[in-house]
């Protein structure tokens, strides 16, 4: 079993749809949870950052962490074609900064 | 200047060649990383440097040799690579090498080994 599981997609949605991206994990020591967005031929860029359980909202993006279920989500409201990218979840414990990444979900938002 | 700059953007090399990848960060960070990104696989951590000292070598073959001359520069020296080493090599930096510190990535070097 992989330490972090993420559906690779691709996920294709129409413009304006609400998008839900998810990751599950097995290591209960993970405390820090991040979402990175990676456009084609670019490096990943940090999109959302949360510590422990709870929700965090930033504009059209909401990150949720449910540590009891070992499940994290990223919601994108009013999705735009410019949101088309690969979304990577990443997480780490307090020990060092060895982020463990999911394999990424490719999202396509069609106009 | 972007925060983390990698050169070259693309590299094609034969299995007997020696080449180097370069990374420079302009963020004043103390930790730098090399990651390998292959198709349909999660990012694989290769090396971590904190304050110019190597703190992680994630079972990487010796044909990959990192060098960190100062906190702003990181190199990955390559020799006698295999075709399966073809991938996107990403450099990243972070303020500290501590749990939860976000990484800032460069745009990578696309390496093709022929």
Q: With 0-12 CB in 10 A as exposed, 13-18 as middle and 19+ as buried, what is B17?
A: middle
Q: Integer distance in angstroms from the first to the last C-alpha of chain B?
A: 32
pLDDT tens-digit map of B75-89: 999 999 999 999 999
B101–A4 C-beta distance less than 8 A: no
pLDDT tens-digit map of B9-19: 999 998 888 99
Report how far apart, in Å, the C-alpha atoms of B38 and of each of B41, B49, B90, B111 are.
6, 22, 11, 10
pLDDT, residue B40, reads: 79
pLDDT, residue B68, reads: 95
Provide the shortest C-alpha distance from residue A44 to chain B (in Å).
Answer: 6
Q: Which residues of A touch B2 (CB under 8 A)?
A: none
pLDDT tens-digit map of A30-63: 999 999 999 999 999 999 999 988 899 999 999 9
Over 80: is that where the pLDDT of B63 sits? yes
Length of chain A: 111
Over 90: is that where the pLDDT of B100 sits? no
Provide the shortest C-alpha distance from residue B50 to chain A (in Å).
Answer: 11
């Amino acid at each position: 079993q992989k330490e972090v599981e993420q559906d690779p997609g691709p996920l294709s949605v129409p413009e304006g749809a609400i998008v839900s991206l998810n990751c599950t994990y097995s290591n209960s020591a993970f405390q820090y949870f991040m979402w990175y967005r990676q456009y084609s031929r670019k490096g990943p860029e940090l999109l959302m950052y949360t510590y422990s359980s709870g929700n965090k909202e930033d504009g059209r993006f909401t990150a949720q962490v449910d540590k009891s279920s070992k499940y994290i989500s990223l919601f994108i409201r009013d999705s735009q074609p410019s949101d088309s990218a690969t979304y990577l979840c990443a997480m780490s414990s307090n020990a060092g900064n060895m982020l463990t990444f999911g394999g990424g979900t490719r999202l396509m938002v069609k106009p | 200047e972007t925060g983390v700059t990698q050169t070259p953007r693309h590299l094609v090399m034969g299995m007997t060649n020696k080449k180097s990848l370069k990374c420079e960060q302009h963020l004043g960070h103390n930790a730098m990383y090399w990651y390998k990104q292959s198709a349909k696989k999660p990012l694989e951590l290769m090396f971590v440097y904190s304050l110019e000292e190597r703190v992680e070598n994630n079972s990487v073959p010796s044909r990959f040799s990192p060098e960190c001359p100062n906190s702003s520069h990181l190199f990955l020296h390559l020799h006698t690579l295999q075709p399966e080493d073809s991938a996107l090599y990403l450099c990243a930096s972070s303020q500290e090498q501590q749990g939860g510190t976000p990484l800032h990535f460069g745009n990578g070097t696309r390496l093709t080994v022929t």
